[in-house]
Amino acid sequence: MDFEYSPAQHAFRREFRAWLHANLPSELCLDDPADDRVASDRETFERRRGWQRTMHEAGWVGISWPTEYGGRGATLIERVIWDEEYAAARAPVLPGNMGLSLVGPTLIHWGTDEQKRRYLPPILSGEEVWAQGFSEPGAGSDLASLQTRAVDHGDHFTINGQKVWTSGAHFAHWILVLARTNPDVPKHTGISAFLVPLSTRGITVRPLVLLTGHRHFNEVFFEDVVVPKANLLGPIDQGWTVSTTTLMYERHSTGARNPIGQVKSLIAVARRLPSNGHTAWDDPLVRQRLSQLAIDCEAMRLTRLRSLTRQLRGEPPGPEGSILKVFGSELGTRIAEAAGELLGMHALVNQGSEMVPDAPRWFNRVLAARQYTISAGTSEIQRNIIGERVLGLPKG
């Protein structure tokens, strides 16, 4: 594994860091950007869209997209550097993230030339924000069981059904929908993918509230929704293959975060927090627990580098993707549990105090951490993948 960056990569890092320093408004910075991926209200959403526009005009959005589609054709390492600097600046997740990370790359792979020309530029600028309409009440882990129907009427389809857990659909303009176009064939083969404006008549978006009180995702209902033929993405009945492209990008993007920043902030809290006439940090058990979490973050960082090395050598993806997803999301839960036990009632009160000025952040983290072992494929499903495809164990 080569830990050194080239002079050009160092220069790229310096350039992006300096640009963020000069342009990122401090009021947009967040303690935990990952826990606030969807803006809490429309005003914040619009402010973040303005930020995406600024970044886009300076050429810093969608950098790994090919240049012919408005990206920079950045290398894998440049993309990693971009992620690291963006997270270190505590900049908000871009509101168009779903389009930039999932829908855009899927369109580049499967879209017609006309679809690419129509949909890709507004994804980059943030003019059009996308949602992912895959999961349904009876189809999450077993996505291919989805029941939403799209019926062919010659020049258009009509869609009926329901999606759920649709992140950000209450702000989004468009949704990538998977629907069943042929119910008479095995379930993986009768699905198609559609590009649907959320303003279409017959669509109802109903927000769902997270444990934290935050409106993150939604139920989306489709009642006789008319979708032109031109909005089919990829071949008819090949939606499962199209969705596999999207899910591959989703797993890649969710495996990327390293929570070492959270462990460092927790250590800072422990150093101030009074406990038995000393501070919590003076307790060897507290130090041991937080050190173990820091060690686990380092193990995760090195596993990620191993996965990058494999990609750079052009080798097929190894087990690291699933390992990073399981380990990273469960490490997030363990950090949240440690925070809850350390802070006690401070983590329950959603208000800063003299002792714990950032208490709302920990309140949020303790409750929000659970979502990551579910979204983008649950821990149980990832363990099945590791067991069956990596370790070669028999199917359960």
Question: Hey, which residues does 232 pair with through a beta bridge?
Answer: 194
Q: What is the DSSP letter of 213?
A: S
Stretch that binds ligand FAD, among 272-280, 283-291, 306-314, 367-375 (CB under 6 A): 367-375
| C-alpha to C-alpha distance for 50 and 374, rounded to whole angstroms | 31
Structure tokens of 137? 């009440």
Give the shortest CB-227-to-ligand FAD separation in angstroms.
18
Question: Hey, which residues does 177 pair with through a beta bridge?
Answer: 133, 194
Q: Which is nearer to ligand FAD, 68 or 142 (CB)?
A: 142
| C-alpha to C-alpha distance for 203 and 223, rounded to whole angstroms | 6
One-letter identity of residue 4: E
Q: Which is nearer to ligand FAD, 51 or 134 (CB)?
A: 134
Give the shortest CB-290-to-ligand FAD separation in angstroms.
26
Q: Which is nearer to ligand FAD, 266 or 369 (CB)?
A: 369
**Residues 175-234 interacting with ligand FAD (rule: CB under 6 A):** 216-217
Stretch that binds ligand FAD, among 1-9, 162-170, 293-301, 387-395 (CB under 6 A): 162-170
Structure tokens of 112? 């017609």
Of the candidates 165, 174, 222, 327, which one interacts with ligand FAD according to CB under 6 A?
165
Give the shortest CB-193-to-ligand FAD separation in angstroms.
12
Q: Which is nearer to ligand FAD, 141 or 244 (CB)?
A: 141
Q: Which is nearer to ligand FAD, 85 or 364 (CB)?
A: 364
In terms of residues, how long is the chain?
396
Tokens 């969807």 identify what position? 38
Give the shortest CB-163-to-ligand FAD separation in angstroms.
6
Q: In sequence order, which residues have a C-beta less than 8 Å from that of residue 182 and are 6 or more positions away?
A: 189, 190, 237
| C-alpha to C-alpha distance for 116 and 129, rounded to whole angstroms | 15
Stretch that binds ligand FAD, among 43-51, 68-76, 267-275, 380-388 (CB under 6 A): 380-388
Site for ligand FAD contains 258 (CB under 6 A): no
Site for ligand FAD contains 238 (CB under 6 A): no
Give the shortest CB-217-to-ligand FAD separation in angstroms.
5
Of the candidates 334, 384, 386, 387, which one interacts with ligand FAD according to CB under 6 A?
384
Site for ligand FAD contains 381 (CB under 6 A): yes
| C-alpha to C-alpha distance for 319 and 311, rounded to whole angstroms | 12
Find the helix or strand (DSSP H, E) in which 163 lies. strand 156-164
Q: Which is nearer to ligand FAD, 140 or 234 (CB)?
A: 140
| C-alpha to C-alpha distance for 316 and 307, rounded to whole angstroms | 10
One-letter identity of residue 137: P
| C-alpha to C-alpha distance for 268 and 215, rounded to whole angstroms | 30
Residues identified as active-site: 250
| C-alpha to C-alpha distance for 59 and 72, rounded to whole angstroms | 8
Q: Which is nearer to ligand FAD, 134 or 157 (CB)?
A: 134
Residue nearest to ligand FAD (CB): 140
Tokens 């173990």 identify what position? 292
Tokens 């559609």 identify what position? 194
- CA neighbor of 96 nearest in space, from 48, 153, 165: 48
- Taking the CA atoms of 66, 67, 70 and 71 in sequence, report the sign of the dihedral they define: positive
Give the shortest CB-90-to-ligand FAD separation in angstroms.
21
Give the shortest CB-170-to-ligand FAD separation in angstroms.
12
- Distance, CA of 104 to chain centre: 14
Site for ligand FAD contains 375 (CB under 6 A): yes
**Residues 100-159 interacting with ligand FAD (rule: CB under 6 A):** 132-135, 140-141
Stretch that binds ligand FAD, among 86-94, 269-277, 323-331, 369-377 (CB under 6 A): 369-377
Of the candidates 97, 101, 167, 265, which one interacts with ligand FAD according to CB under 6 A?
167
Of the candidates 106, 166, 231, 322, which one interacts with ligand FAD according to CB under 6 A?
166
Distances in whole angstroms, Cα of residue 212 to Cα of each of 30, 59, 135 = 16, 35, 22
Give the shortest CB-166-to-ligand FAD separation in angstroms.
5
Interface residue list for ligand FAD (CB under 6 A): 132-135, 140-141, 165-167, 216-217, 371, 374-375, 377-378, 380-381, 384
